[in-house]
A and B are shown apart, each in its own frame.
Chain A
């Protein structure tokens, strides 16, 4: 029985109240009520999401613009897989680069076999499939697309010929009008004006027809499209494998071996050297030694992939968030305690709060640039880059500027909430502090801050949400390696996959945002002493 309550409590504290009815159902506690709750809080949201996917699946192909098509859910999933494959391949390359010769040989065979398979059988087979599909596509086009195009083209032709015939008609008419026939002349002008009006209407119509035709022409046979995508994937893998094999055959170890061999030669010739050449061959020897040292420490410089960028974004948002917190809480406490300070500070809050990250970022870049004129030899940067987590994420000025932008945008909710929490502290609690003759510091630590904590954490929760939202824009502008840069890069690619990749980012960013929020809720619940802490 104790276990049961412990589980309930855990669910409650971890912010996963969603699963509370499941747990209760498991312990057969009012099954009917629990089933109703499960339907309400779990089944219905899942159904709603399913419905959303369905609507998406149906609606996506209907929205076709010149810039492309809204990707279907399946395509988005494909894109996600593609991103993941790319990540894995870069990882494999890094591993290959530092593999020992035994390991390298082992994977080399596999890679060679796979490459052979792709080159000699898979790609030709796919080419054949594509050739067959192209015939089918022609049939499909003849049947489904060409008639429509023809129809549109006919209308276009009709309009054009009508326009021409009207024009010639009027020209003939004009030719037949006698010099003194004023009425006929006026009539002609009227008809000409009418024709011009009609022409401009036709012009719009024609433009629309052209648009329709071009969209129809660019429609692709789905099966063929899929086959071509498959071929593209194979070609990509082939490309990857050839680079991979290149790295394996010439990786760090083999390089070091080669250098070592040469070292032997050099040292032999050094000991055999005559007086005039002693110095130069000694230098050569020393140089070779440092070279070996450097080579044996070198790493493959892999491309930055989305998983890495996501982690770096998280690190950036936490850095910014911590900077914001360091400033916001003390300032908020000061504002809450002292009316004068609050009055002095209010204009700043009012002015700076609504400023967009897009404005803060360049300022942040300039500020960071001022402090860090030479990133290669900067004490602060090298200290940061030696910190445990930061060391694997190459902190640079762009990262700091993004973090500062996040801080500047996200510090306000915490500041305002802290001030509110401190100023609205219960008078009775203050009286307790007075009766106990608590000194300022004691009062702050044992009464004021604890009392304001729930509101402070409510502020922090809003802050981290704002920070996460703002970060993407900041990284995008600062070109700081993170999700924002990924978005911008994919957008710049303008490939047929770009849209789908954006959707992947939408879900990734949303998911992480949700996670951060849940984590903050847990904290908020842990510090709250009244029972009204929010759970949604």
Chain B
């Protein structure tokens, strides 16, 4: 760890200097590579999930190096430690759950101002239930009792099982990875869309089990299959490779993916503390540049713009090979390859193509949308993690504190000038809000510009 001996005055000077540098960059394309880095040796954290790919690829394919960065990429044991390490400065930045920077900034859990200028991927999660539950679901809905049942599978067929359990005085138990994880919200969304109450967070109930018909609990991703097999939980929502492991080991059946719950939903972001970003603006830009290029590499196709199926993604096999290294995700290549190359096993007999299972670059994926941040805020409010009703402006303001498209666009602009990306890859003129969409499992439309009316449109959970 290099001690930063630059004093504050000098730092201020540096900022001005870098502003000048940026000005020069804008003027003279030839200068564009020369970001005046505040810090060259960086340490990033990640959790062993396939969607850490952009960071790993940027390192292994030399995109960080191209920016003059030496980056150490270190696996973290769990999301809490990862966040703590970013906050205490042991890590410069990390692969984070979309909800983490928001929750940290508004002070749910650990309080710290975290920002993100880069969305790492879309989709990539699945909901798996135990074999016995799957058998009962099939009994409840004979349509499911086929080799390849029709998708999406809703939680409607789960509801009678939940009711039966409740009548016996028990509650179905399901696992998710972190209170502010996308998995928590997706699992809740899936359950609630079928009228199953997943429980509310209150000031005193930080486990989120008040009024629950199905109780959700935190389980670390690698422990999911084992916990399921042991019978402590009857289902879980988690990222890859842990759904495919359940199929490979024959202990559970993935019933749906988050692609079906909300098409092209944001999954992970690259988060840093605001303090770090303010101290190292140019390094931050360099990092975002490398990450954008990594995303581009991950989603590269044989011919530009031609994309029909997962196999068209030419670099994914190599990516799976890299990710299967023990210091990265470390799971077997075969297991990682499936989802990375656009296949997903729902059962051993049910292998489907899911070309968009992991999206790293297409659909303007890497842009940090305010509307994504607002969606997570609405979910936090819906389930009571935000304990008081807030006005609409608060949602917009908070999202803008956390999501930083300004930094993203600056980095993208440099890449464009360097000729490394296409103009059409980046949504240059956007106001940061995705168009309204109703591509949810229950068809309820979401418009980021109007969070309060979205909250009102759900049956279960806080409505304002």
B-binding residues in A (CB < 8 A): 66-68, 82-83, 86, 210-211, 214, 217-218, 232, 235-236, 239, 243, 246, 250, 280, 283-284, 287-288, 291, 294-295, 298-301, 303-305, 365, 369, 373-377, 381-382, 385, 394, 396-398, 476-479, 481, 485, 488-498, 501
Q: Report Cα–Cα, A477/B85, bound state, in Å.
A: 13
Interface 9-residue window, one of B307-315, B323-331, B397-405: B323-331
Q: Among A86, A214, A218, A284, which residue has its beta carbon within 8 angstroms of that of B326?
A: A86
Q: Which residues of B contact A243 (CB under 8 A)?
A: 60
Which has the most chain B C-beta neighbours within 10 Å: A300, A301, A490? A301
Map CB proximity to A onto B191-235 as digits: 1 under 8 Å, 0 otherwise: 000000000000000000000000000001110011001000000
Q: Report Cα–Cα, A398/B77, bound state, in Å.
A: 12
Q: Among B31, B77, B318, B330, which residue has its beta carbon within 8 angstroms of that of A479?
A: B77
Q: Which residues of B contact A488 (CB under 8 A)?
A: 77
B289 nearest CB across to chain A (Å): 17
Q: Among B1, B40, B325, which residue has its beta carbon within 8 angstroms of that of A396?
A: B1
Q: Taking A376-B4, A481-B74 as given, write out 19 further A-B residue pairs in contact, using a Cβ cutoff of 8 Å, ordered by the A residue number.
A: A66-B251, A239-B325, A243-B60, A291-B34, A299-B41, A299-B70, A301-B41, A304-B327, A376-B89, A385-B1, A396-B90, A397-B88, A489-B330, A492-B48, A494-B222, A494-B241, A495-B326, A495-B335, A496-B332
Q: Is B464 an interface residue (CB 8 A)?
A: no
Q: Could you tell me which residues of chain B, from 227 to 278, have a CB within 8 Å of some CB in chain A? A: 229, 241-242, 245, 248-251
Q: Is B3 an interface residue (CB 8 A)?
A: yes
Q: Which residue of A lies closest to B66 (CB)?
A: A250
A421 nearest CB across to chain B (Å): 40
Q: Is B179 an interface residue (CB 8 A)?
A: no
Q: Report Cα–Cα, A464/B168, bound state, in Å.
A: 52
Query: For chain A, what secondary structure do more than half of its interface residues adopt (helix, strand, loop), or is it mixed?
Result: helix
Q: Among A67, A235, A283, A382, which residue has its beta carbon within 8 angstroms of that of B225?
A: A67
A-B contact pairs, 20 of them (CB 8 A): A86-B326, A218-B249, A283-B20, A295-B68, A298-B40, A301-B43, A301-B72, A304-B327, A365-B84, A374-B89, A376-B1, A377-B3, A377-B4, A394-B1, A396-B1, A398-B85, A489-B326, A492-B75, A494-B331, A495-B326
Q: Which residues of A contact B332 (CB under 8 A)?
A: 495-496
A437 nearest CB across to chain B (Å): 54
A118 nearest CB across to chain B (Å): 13
Residues A304 and B322 in contact, CB atoms below 8 Å apart: no
Residues B90 and A495 in contact, CB atoms below 8 Å apart: no
Residues B85 and A479 in contact, CB atoms below 8 Å apart: yes
A-binding residues in B (CB < 8 A): 1, 3-4, 17, 20, 24, 31, 34, 36-37, 40-41, 43, 48, 60, 62, 65, 68, 70-77, 81, 84-85, 88-90, 131, 220-222, 225-226, 229, 241-242, 245, 248-251, 318, 321-322, 324-327, 329-333, 335, 348
Which has the most chain A C-beta neighbours within 10 Å: B37, B90, B226? B90
Q: Report Cα–Cα, A301/B331, bound state, in Å.
A: 23
Q: Among A86, A250, A481, A493, which residue has its beta carbon within 8 angstroms of that of B329?
A: A493
B43 nearest CB across to chain A (Å): 8
Q: Which 10 pairs between the two chains have the least Cβ-Cβ distance? A: A493-B330, A214-B250, A301-B72, A303-B327, A492-B222, A66-B249, A492-B48, A301-B70, A479-B77, A495-B332
Residues B70 and A298 in contact, CB atoms below 8 Å apart: yes
Q: Which residues of A contact B331 (CB under 8 A)?
A: 493-495
Q: Report Cα–Cα, A189/B245, bound state, in Å.
A: 45
Q: Report Cα–Cα, A495/B41, bound state, in Å.
A: 30
Q: Report Cα–Cα, A311/B81, bound state, in Å.
A: 23
A493 nearest CB across to chain B (Å): 3
Residues A218 and B225 in contact, CB atoms below 8 Å apart: no
A89 nearest CB across to chain B (Å): 10
Q: Which residues of B contact A250 (CB under 8 A)?
A: 62, 65
Q: Which residues of B contact A283 (CB under 8 A)?
A: 17, 20
Q: Which residues of B contact A299 (CB under 8 A)?
A: 41, 70
Residues B40 and A479 in contact, CB atoms below 8 Å apart: no
Q: Which residues of B contact A235 (CB under 8 A)?
A: 321, 333
Residues A493 and B85 in contact, CB atoms below 8 Å apart: no
Q: Among B68, B89, B229, which residue has its beta carbon within 8 angstroms of that of A67?
A: B229
Residues A232 and B333 in contact, CB atoms below 8 Å apart: yes
Q: Report Cα–Cα, A298/B330, bound state, in Å.
A: 28
B421 nearest CB across to chain A (Å): 21
Q: Among B62, B84, B242, B324, which residue has its beta carbon within 8 angstroms of that of A495?
A: B324
Q: Which residue of A lies closest to B329 (CB)?
A: A493
Given the interface pairs A369-B88, A381-B1, the reply to whether A218 lies near B245 with Cβ below 8 Å is: no
Which has the most chain B C-beta neighbours within 10 Å: A217, A250, A375, A476? A375
Q: Which residues of B contact A294 (CB under 8 A)?
A: 37, 40
Q: Which residues of A contact B222 (CB under 8 A)?
A: 491-494
Residues A477 and B48 in contact, CB atoms below 8 Å apart: no
Q: Among A218, A236, A288, A298, which residue has its beta carbon within 8 angstroms of that of B41?
A: A298
